[in-house]
Structure 1
Amino acid sequence: MEKLKVLLFVCVSTLCFQPLTANNAPIPDIMDRSMADIVGSWAYDVQNVDPQYAKGILHIEKEKGKYVLNIQGAEGSMIPTEELTVDGSEVKFVVYVEGDRVSITLNFDGDSFSGDGSSSSGPFTLSGKRIPDPK
């Protein structure tokens, strides 16, 4: 009878503690993966702005542990961003367009994003999709 109690205790203990170790391991991987998912090139469309600013490409890289976001405009010129913050799937940054400060917040979900921004001309919305890596 005593052996049965010990065996039962070992079985219950094993079952109770196993989910804790199984659940703890993947959490960092999931967080790293979601933050790394924003790296790449993203085609965007902006509503309620002048036509020359309505389309372009966001280039997001991670250099020396920090994210860098540059905007490729319709003419192909690269515009750097400032005050870039990445918090999970949310990205915030500031860009200056013709001297006007433009604040933008994006929310990434898989291979697409949506967001909003504001400038002295008023608020606007934008959306985009990942451009497949040609490699």
Structure 2
Amino acid sequence: MNRLEKNQKIIWLLKALLFSYVVTGISLLLLSVLLYKFEWNEHLVSAAIVAVYVLSTVVGGIVIGKLVRTRRFFWGLLLGNLYFILLLVITIILYRSLSGNGLNMLTAWILCTGGGMTGGMIS
């Protein structure tokens, strides 16, 4: 693989990651409207947020898998990891600390990478 092909795949990865975050934003906006309208409890909202993250990484994995067409499993896994890292960085910037415990972060990482991998595999 030459340098141009590597750069193209990195650009595709960034586009798929951006698409995942657009899906996240739209889904969280819809979730907030539903929360306001139906007054859901905290446990249901937490489960819905986790579902949004998984859905977003699956969609991103599908996008990157369709673009690269080779080693889709790897590229989906990479997308899921980058999604989680960016989510972690945003959390640290906004809250100046990590909320939650290590088990919650591990679970979020597994769900994000698993979602990206799954999307890559089914693309």
Rg comparison, structure with higher value: 1
Give the structure with the larger helix fraction.
Answer: 2
Give the structure with the larger strand fraction: 1
TM-score in same-fold range (> 0.5): no
TM-score w.r.t. length of structure 1: 0.27
TM-score when normalising by structure 2: 0.29
